Every structure is written in structure tokens, then in C-alpha cells.
Structure 1
Amino acid sequence: MPAGAEEAVLAVDIGGTKVAAAVVGGDGTVLVEDVVPTLADPDPEALYVPIHAMLGSLLEQAADTLGPHVRVGIGSAGPVHGPEGLISPVNVPAWRRWPVRDRVLRTVVTALGRPATAVLVGDGHCIAMGEHWLGAGRDVDSMVGMVISTGVGGGAVIDNVLFAGASGNAVHIGHTSVNFLGPRCVCGCHGCVEFYARGPGMVDAARAGGWEGPDARALTLDAAAGNPVATEAIEQGMRALAAGVAELATNLDVTTFVIGGGVSKAGEVVFEPLRRHLRDFATLHYVRDLRVLPAELENAGLLGAAAVALALSGHGPLREAPAWGSLAPQPA
């Protein structure tokens, strides 16, 4: 049996631009993995077709590592409907109250002919759990993990317990308002963190100032090279993010924030203004010394989903699986 194969689980990470999946061992070893793009299709079932095919292939490759009852962890862009196993990602319009948990379970049972159990959590929680288990937050008991990409998500581990909330949407920082007079976000609120700080949001702000680049990666490269319009767009986005981070730190009394996602890979061009702007918002004595760290893991979301799945059988880094009702057994 390959290293790390004991207690192997299936992990699925659903985002606005891609869906990744892996079979992961109890020590965090990734045994097999794959990724497919998230399709832009108005038919919610059509979006699942390539995901179903990917999962079937992975399960076939790793069938001998998964055991007689398969545990599955699913992380998804939010919001999620945890107790019901449904998702309504803001950045995937075709999926509204879409039954991802049951679709994935059906795929597993069909592919392997074995019973399976799944738990659904928000992708921000998976990022937090992955980094707490094996990444930048492994030396702390409490932390917030965040992702800045096509959206802005968050999750928290408090005293070594995943803090998912009643519906699985706790710490959904992207849709916290930091400007009550601001533009209406796609979620319906005004002035959300995500509106300003997500990659496409900063690109939109730069284009409004005359910048003509193609995407967020080009924006960060131009800002690093000194382009004033690109720099100002990132300043605005990171100031909004700083306000959201300070709000979470103040309310949760947590001082370690780990940030991953595509935008965070730009390095100091985003982290320096974020840390600088935090001084304007994190003013109370217990949040003045916040640690804002770049994520260490390329696959924190997958590893976090695996950690939640491992908890279903009493193994892994979590003391217990989330208790808010998203578990669903599926017989063979």
C-alpha cells in the first residue's frame, strides 16, 4: 500500500474557475489528483458532467486505498446550505441550491459499489483547515484562513476546532460590508469586501482608471513595476480587505490570518498594502499585532476537505467532524 494510504478519503474542492479532487491519505499524502475547469453553462447538471468523469477516474485509480466505507469531504465556494448539502456559489450562477453532496455521493457509490458518507463545508473553511493542519498555521491553536481569487472566502479554526457556524457559512468575509454606501454586490448587499478585493474587482477598478491589462496577474505585475493605476487599484482592494480582516480579528479575538488564492501569490505587492492599511482598522490593543501570512500550501482547500472527511472516522487533525448536520450516508 502506498505511503499515507491508510484512512484514505476523497476530497473535492469546488471553485468559481476550477474544481479539484484528490484521494488523500491520513497523513496528508495526496495519492491521486486531478482538476477540471468550472464550466460557464446555464444548465446546472451540465456543469457536473466533467466533475463526475474526473471523480470516476480518480476512484478507479485509488479504489484499493479507500476502504469498505468511503468518506468524502467537499469544500465549495459559498454560500453553502450545510445541513441540506446544497450550494449556491455567488460566482457560479447556474448552481442555486444545487445538491452537490448527493451528486458526489451518487458518483462514488456508482463507481465503487460501496457505501459512502460525505460532509460539505465552505471552501474558506477548507483553506483554514488545510493551512492549520499542514501549512502556515500549524503552530497556532486559532487562526483565520482566507482565499483571494475570483472571490474572497474565509474560514476559522478556533482552539483547534473548525468553526463552521449553524449553516456552514461562518466567517464568510467576502460578503461582509465595509462600505454601506458602496455599490451593490452580486450577493445583494452594498460595499462587500469581495466587490473591492477579489481579483476581477481590482481589475475593474484599474480599467476604470485607464489600465488595459487582461487579468489580475497582469495587474499585480504592473503594480510591482510601478504602474500608478495598477498600484492604486490594489491599494483600494487591500484597504477594503484590511477593514474586513480587522472586523474579524476584533470579533473573533484571533491574531493569525493566513491568506491564499491566486491574488495572494503576487507577494508583497498585495501583502505590504494590506498590512499597512490594517493599522488604520485594527486599533484595539488585542488586535494591534496581527500576523498576516501567505499560505504555504498549493492545495490547502483539498487538504482541508480531506481533514474534514478524516474526522468522520475519528482520525486526522480535527477532534470531531462539524456537528451542524451536513452528513449524509449513501448505501451501495
Structure 2
Amino acid sequence: MSSGALVAAVDIGGTKIAGGLVTRDGEPLHEVQVPTPAKGEAAEVLGAVHDVLDLLAAHGSWGQVDRIGVGSAGPVDVVRGTVSPVNIPNWRGFPLVERVAAHPAVGGRLPVVLGGDAVAMTAAEHWVGAARGFANALCLVVSTGVGAGLVLNGKVYAGPSGNAGHLGHITVDMDGDPCPCGSRGCLERVASGTAIAAWALGRGWRPDGDDASAAAVAASARAGDETARAAFDRAGKALAAGIAATATLVELEAAVLGGGVLQAGDLLLEPLRRHLQTYAALPFTHGIKILPARLGTRAGLVGAAALALG
């Protein structure tokens, strides 16, 4: 296998589907993106994935691709090659690996490796990002949802089905809101960008314009809006509880946080670190480093490539 061979990487989320051609050093050479028709029929969502593959296959370097890595919102089943993203309701047990392998530009000649999007982000940050050098770490994606992955004993640990570390769907509020996953009070229902904006709106916050997003809440918080600041404090508190619980189970050195909500910076990280001092109470959970991810929006693609490379 040529050392110069490329990996075609696809990152499927509830908002966008990204694609890239990634080198063996973890560097994306070419990137494309299309919106996710998340509420569309299964074939429509697959069509968007195929559009990304079409765009990648049209690039002059496509001939150097020797494998495909796919990171998808989950849950996933890496044994069966299927996905059931919480935020894509018409994909339940969807045979994604089979359908990607059947794309004309793939034609069954390239191996397709599937992983959860948060596991992919974890693989990326451990390979070339903020988790590099840590033997035991938790990596979180805080965006439309909340996903996470684990590094244990120096290796990404995905678990038998590929869903280990699925922290966004642990309960942090016993009497909390119902979650699309079927549970209630999930971390994702408190700390995701969607949840931050919804909580602030429900308590009287109003955006300056039509943008009722977590970014707009952050702008209001920076301007001194107390409800907006409280929304980020609440999210940071929930994340601290989830990180502390994970550290109690597996003993962590670091937690790396990425995703669009992290653009809020210390509005989220300061309360997270403060509340972590309360929740990480046992001596062996002290000293967890809370670090911002380094790869930004590229983490999903780099991570999908890392999973494909094994």
C-alpha cells in the first residue's frame, strides 16, 4: 500500500455532511460540504451522502484513495455497518456501509470503515490534536447534540458496537425533559447548543434579531444578560457532572471539548471547571485537565480517516 495513498473521509451530522481527502499524516487536502436533509426520507439523506462522494470523486486525487472512513451521528453498529442517528429520524438501522460501498465511484473496490462521529473526533484529537500524549482521556463534541468518546490505556476505545463513551445520553437530570433517544434528562438535553438556546428562550431571553442559537445566547451573555449567562452555567454544570462521573468510572487525565458550542469559550469552560471541583470529589478524580479541542470543524474528517487507518 502506497505511503502516499489518501483516505476519503465522510462526516455525517444532523446539520451538515462533510467530505474530505485526508493524507496519512492527518491533513485534509480537499474538503466539501452539503446540508443534511435531517427530516427527509432515508433515500434523501443517502442522496446527500452520495453528493459528497460525487464531489470527492471528481477531484483529481481521487485515484490515490485506498479506503473510506465514515463518521456518523449515532448510535451506530460497526458490526452490522448500520446507523440510527437520533437527529435523523428516518435512518433507523440504516445500512450505511453497504450503501456507501455501492456508490459508483467506490464500486465495492474500497474498504469502508464506520465509526460514531464522537469516536471519530476522539481518534482525531488523540492522533494529532489536544488529546495526543494522554493515555486516558474523554473527548466531547458539544454541538447540535452532545457526543463523546474514550481513550483508555493509550488507545481509542469504541466498544463492541462502536458506541462506548456515548455521554450525551446519560441522565444528568432525573426529572428532566424527555429525550428523542427514549430516556429523559440526558446531558444532551441540557448542554447542547439546541438545549442552551431553548432553555434561555423559555426563561425570557430574546435574541437581537432572528438568530435564536447558542451563538446568539453567547453574544447576549457577553453583553451582560443574566439569563444567557445562566444558560451557559447550567450547561457547564451538566458537562462537569458527566465528566466527573466518567472519571470516577475509568480514571481520566484529561477531557477535550470541541464542537460549535465551544466557540463560546470561557462562557462555558469557566463554569465547567468551577463545577467540576464539586463533582470530581474523590482524590483520584482531582486534576483532570479541561482542554479545548485543536482540530475544530476538521475533527470529524480527520477522525473518520483515523478510524479507517486503524
TM over 0.5: yes
Distance 2:132 2:155 in 1: 13
- Contact kept? 1:63, 1:112, Cα under 8 Å: no
In 2, Cα distance between equivalents of 1:114 and 1:199: 38
Matches within 5 A, 1:106-125: 106-107=102-103, 110-111=104-105, 113=107, 115-125=109-119
1:200 maps to amino acid: T
Partner of 2:199: 205
| Offset at residue 81 of structure 1 (A) | 1.7
SS of corresponding position for 1:97: coil
Residues 1:82 and 2:81 are matched in the alignment:
no
CA distance in 2, matches of 1:155, 1:114: 29
Q: Deviations over 1:6-30 (max 9, x none)?
A: 1311111111101111111111121
CA distance in 2, matches of 1:125, 1:13: 11
The answer for unaligned runs of 5 or more in structure 1 is 312-332
- The answer on 1:231 being equivalent to 2:210 is no
SS of 2:276's equivalent in the other structure is helix
Pick closer, same or farther for the CA change 1:113–1:124 going to 2, 3 Å: closer
Deviation of the 1:112 alpha carbon: 5.1
TM score, norm. by length of structure 1: 0.88
Render the CA deviation track for 1:243-276: whole Å, top value 9, x for unaligned: 1111111111112111000001111011001111
Partner residue in 1 for 2:146: 152
**1:95 deviation in Å?**
1.1
1:257 and 2:251 correspond: no
Aligned counterparts of 2:38 and 2:88: Cα–Cα separation in 1: 8
Aligned to 2:129: 135
Q: Give the deviation of 1:172 after TM superposition.
A: 0.3
- CA distance in 2: counterparts of 1:76 and 1:40, whole angstroms: 13
Tell me the residue number matched to 1:308: 307
- How far has the Cα of 1:113 moved from its partner? 4.8
SS of the equivalent of 2:10 reads strand
For residues 236 and 95 of structure 2, what CA distance do their matches in structure 1 show?
34
Does the 8 Å contact 1:211/1:229 carry over to 2? yes
In structure 2, how many angstroms separate the alpha carbons of the residues matched to 1:252 and 1:197? 22
Letter in 2 for 1:137: A
Query: Do the aligned residues in 2 keep the contact of 1:142 with 1:158 (CA within 8 Å)?
Result: yes
Q: Which residue in the other structure is 1:73 paired with? A: 69
Cα distance 1:253–1:262, how it changes in 2: closer, same or farther (>3 A)? same
Change beyond 3 A, Cα 1:149–1:112: closer
1:75/1:305 contact within 8 Å kept: yes
Q: Which amino acid aligns with 1:275?
A: R
Q: 1:105 aligns with which of 101, 119, 124?
A: 101
Per-residue deviation at 1:209? 0.8
What's the RMSD between the two structures over aligned residues?
1.5
Which SS does the other structure have where 2:131 is aligned?
A: coil
**Change over 3 Å in CA distance of 1:167–1:122 after alignment to 2:** same
Q: Which residue of 2 aligns with 1:325?
A: none
Aligned-partner Cα distance in 1 for 2:121–2:3: 22
Q: Distance in 1 between matches of 2:252 and 2:56?
A: 37
Distance 1:82 1:256 in 2: 26
Shift of 1:134: 0.9
Identity %: 42
Query: What SS is found at the alignment partner of 2:20?
Result: strand
Unpaired runs of 5+ in structure 2? Answer: none
- CA positional deviation for 1:223: 1.1
Q: Could you state the TM-score of these two structures normalised by the residue count of structure 2?
A: 0.94
Count of equivalent residues: 303
Distance 1:206 1:139 in 2: 38
Distance in 2 between the 1:99 and 1:306 partners?
20
